[in-house]
Structure 1
């Protein structure tokens, strides 16, 4: 008798109502793949952007299984996959597919989990901390003591940027709603309530001449606001389009128009820069650095040098509810799905 497994499937573009739980035969790993039994899968804003049909980098076709990151145990190795053994704990950036009890993943994408690391904490570092680490060190190349403004600082990637920024003694300011301000204060960041304060005016009053780096996961018009907070020689790193989740959903064409408009800012000022980053594209073009950086992050977790902010864990069967919580913008840190109902 063939064993069954459950997974979450987004059947069409639109709201969280389009996410359903499906039961099917357990997949067999192809050559070079490893079948992983999921212990924890992260829920992210990127999943929501894909569900809404406005994820800009190689978006999946509907229907698809969401899930950008996974931690689990090796269950079965396909032909030619010899690097890992059944029972070992592994982690991977999957982009899609992780909301499932079993997932077949290319062996080359897997990283061994350090001993003693909690799977829920580990999965909370994969997408968020990998993004944060590469933005800070591969793209912006931050220096100790620099002044950094983080937009949406109370979210999963925002809190990851803060946690890693503390390791290099960055002076950080974070924007978010009042309901998330205490999280920022607790992490040692100067909070800015974007709903009641003018962010640029606040930054200039706090710094005198602006910040060295502004980190923008929102995109659209916000990239121009981020640019206005820079001092001479400052940089904006734009790495998201969550503006598409606020109000009326834009078309993918609108997303690219805003993206190109933001890059045009590089023509305005000789010392200020707008840079872009996409974790899936960086992984595709720099696979060795993906393995190196994810390994480094998991080691930082094992050494207790970082502590991801976890909003809650939820069973896989409640994936739709997890999406609704992100839609409602009430999540502080990361939501993690675990097997079960």
Structure 2
């Protein structure tokens, strides 16, 4: 008789990738309103890269199981959950806990994955897709004819931002290392080498009147330069501080500094707008509204995936047990797209 057990990856502290721990135990049972999802795909996001350094803004205390999102099949449903949900492939935004073979979730937090969409493909479109969709359509409100600048155009979020912006009829300028330029040009993107080119000068040459939106995950000096590149009426969406990933000191300070700049810029009477985007914003105020918006937007992302408007890049697929190799690869800066983990 085969006994099914739960396997999870535990982050014990600020450690090197090889020091993450693989633990085994019984599969948990769902409580009222909950489901047990058998994970089929989870991934390595930039958030986990920050978490292992203790640099993510509101990460839980060590030790904990990382994993920002997942795709899997509902294996069991607790009291109060529609029994027909069992056997359904779903996606969920978790923030933590996704790096496990079996995950207990509130049934209200799972979104059905459309038929014909593979687990790894769907996984790359969960947190990255929601982030890209909401920044593009809910914050910047990009329309046909707009010109946008996407930093990290080859990355997990950046590559989806590029594709969704192009689908919306926008002209796209994207920063990336030279190895990704041919692929970006093939999509219709004007690439900029962020390592050797003067990004502000190059963008001003390409868009003398400024750009309508900038999506900046870099932070630091980059976000200030990005603000200066906006046309009147333009929008800056800052959604990270990659430049401070390897810094020491307070993990809150880079975010608080960004928030201060955003507040100051929005107080200026120049017709431009700035946001610091966090996909979890609003959940504390209204969980039901947050869930409804997440369901609506993720459904839009999956629809775009089905239509072929976006094609999320899977950089590599590795077993959960090979988490050290997966993290090293994701942090290397040599891949395009997302590193996906499977059981």
User: Structure 2-normalised TM-score?
Assistant: 0.93
Question: Partners in 2 of 1:268 and 1:85 — Cα distance?
Answer: 50
Question: Partners in 1 of 2:206 and 2:255 — Cα distance?
Answer: 33
Q: Does 1:158 align with 2:158?
A: yes
The answer as to whether partners of 1:310 and 1:335 remain within 8 angstroms in 2 is: yes
Question: Partners in 1 of 2:309 and 2:113 — Cα distance?
Answer: 16
> What does 1:107-146 correspond to in 2, within 5 Å?
107-146=107-146
1:58-110: per-residue Cα shift (whole Å, max 9, x none)? Answer: 32221111111111111011121226432111111111111111111110011
Q: Does 1:208 align with 2:208?
A: yes
User: How many residue pairs were aligned?
Assistant: 337
CA offset at residue 283 of structure 1?
A: 5.3
Partner-residue secondary structure (3-state), 1:52: coil
CA offset at residue 220 of structure 1?
A: 2.5
Question: Partners in 1 of 2:108 and 2:169 — Cα distance?
Answer: 34
> What does 1:69-84 correspond to in 2, within 5 Å?
69-82=69-82, 84=84
Unmatched 5+ residue regions in structure 2?
none
Aligned match of 1:12? 13
The answer as to whether partners of 1:7 and 1:21 remain within 8 angstroms in 2 is: yes
CA offset at residue 161 of structure 1?
A: 0.3
Partner-residue secondary structure (3-state), 2:125: helix
> What does 1:1-341 correspond to in 2, within 5 Å?
3-56=4-57, 58-82=58-82, 84-245=84-245, 247-263=246-262, 264-282=264-282, 285=286, 286-339=290-343
The answer as to whether partners of 1:217 and 1:240 remain within 8 angstroms in 2 is: yes
1:33-60: per-residue Cα shift (whole Å, max 9, x none)? Answer: 110111111211011122222222x322
1:138-180: per-residue Cα shift (whole Å, max 9, x none)? Answer: 1111111101001111100000101111111110001122233
The answer as to whether partners of 2:258 and 2:276 remain within 8 angstroms in 1 is: no
Question: Partners in 2 of 1:273 and 1:105 — Cα distance?
Answer: 36
1:6-28: per-residue Cα shift (whole Å, max 9, x none)? Answer: 11111112432342211111112
CA offset at residue 2 of structure 1?
A: 6.4
Partner-residue secondary structure (3-state), 1:74: strand
1:288-327: per-residue Cα shift (whole Å, max 9, x none)? Answer: 1111111121122223332111111111111121111222
The answer as to whether partners of 1:89 and 1:112 remain within 8 angstroms in 2 is: yes
Question: Partners in 2 of 1:221 and 1:103 — Cα distance?
Answer: 39
Structure 2 CA distance for partners of 1:276 and 1:19, relative to 1, 3 Å: same
Question: Partners in 1 of 2:62 and 2:31 — Cα distance?
Answer: 22
The answer as to whether partners of 2:232 and 2:270 remain within 8 angstroms in 1 is: no
